[in-house]
Amino acid sequence: MIDSKQRVHGPSVLFTLALAVVGLCAPLQAEEAAEADVKVTISGNDTMQFDVKEFEVGVGQTVELTLKHTGALPKAAMGHNVVILKKEMALMDFAMKAVAAAATEYIPADLAENVLAHTKLIGGGEEDVITFVAPAEAGNYEFLCSFPGHFGLMKGIMIVK
Ligand code: ZN
């Protein structure tokens, strides 16, 4: 019991420490690094829907992306992530290979270089926040949930201008 509790709390303690370190360092950095240029929130639900199918960012902007799972189903049954692909990666090809990548939360290790940014896989009631820098090249970048069978409904476009 105690052992499993420690295992659950270990990472969150580390995360809290990491946040504290970031918080301490932030004032020392340049102003633009402290705050994201643009914040985007995407919600996924228990019926495999993203509420955002398209969002716009500027070339080279720092993007803070929040994924919220507004459903109640667990990650194993209705897991969601947001995977933003580089232009050269076809969404269908990525989704097909992702099916076999359960061990790495449906991000195939050999396709990692084709991923611009991704959240972790989350279940009902959870959320994840990531920060990344938008590409220097303008254009449309596809995103999807790479959980098996979800990409048909759960996909969209990040427009970089
Ligand atoms: Zn999903």
Using H for helix, E for strand and C for coil, what is the string for 47-102? CCCECCCEEEECCCCEEEEEEEECCCCCHHHHCECCEEECCCCCHHHHHHHHCCCH
What is the sign, positive or negative, of the torsion defined by CA atoms of 49, 54, 60, 63? Answer: negative
Q: Which residues surround ligand 1, an ion (CB under 5 A)?
A: 80, 145, 147, 150, 154
104 Cα–ligand 1 center, Å: 15
End-to-end CA distance of the chain: 52
48 Cα–ligand 1 center, Å: 6
pLDDT over 90 percentage in the chain: 78
pLDDT tens for each residue of 32-74? 456 899 999 999 999 999 999 999 999 999 999 999 999 999 9
75 Cα–ligand 1 center, Å: 9
Distance CA 106, CA 148 (A): 8
37 Cα–ligand 1 center, Å: 27
Over residues 2-19, the mean pLDDT reads 48
> Which tokens is 161 given?
């201008």
- Better-predicted residue by pLDDT, 76 or 5: 76
Task: Assess whether pLDDT exceeds 90 at residue 2.
Answer: no
125 Cα–ligand 1 center, Å: 13
Q: How far is CA 81 from CA 96, 105, 123, 125, in A?
A: 15, 9, 9, 13
12 Cα–ligand 1 center, Å: 24
- Better-predicted residue by pLDDT, 13 or 44: 44
> Which tokens is 48 given?
């495999």
- 23-62 exposure pattern, b = at least 16 Cβ within 10 A, e = fewer: eeeeeeeeeeeeebeeebebbbbeebbbebeebebeeebb
Local structure of 118: helix, strand or coil = strand
Q: What confidence score (pLDDT) does residue 34 get?
A: 61
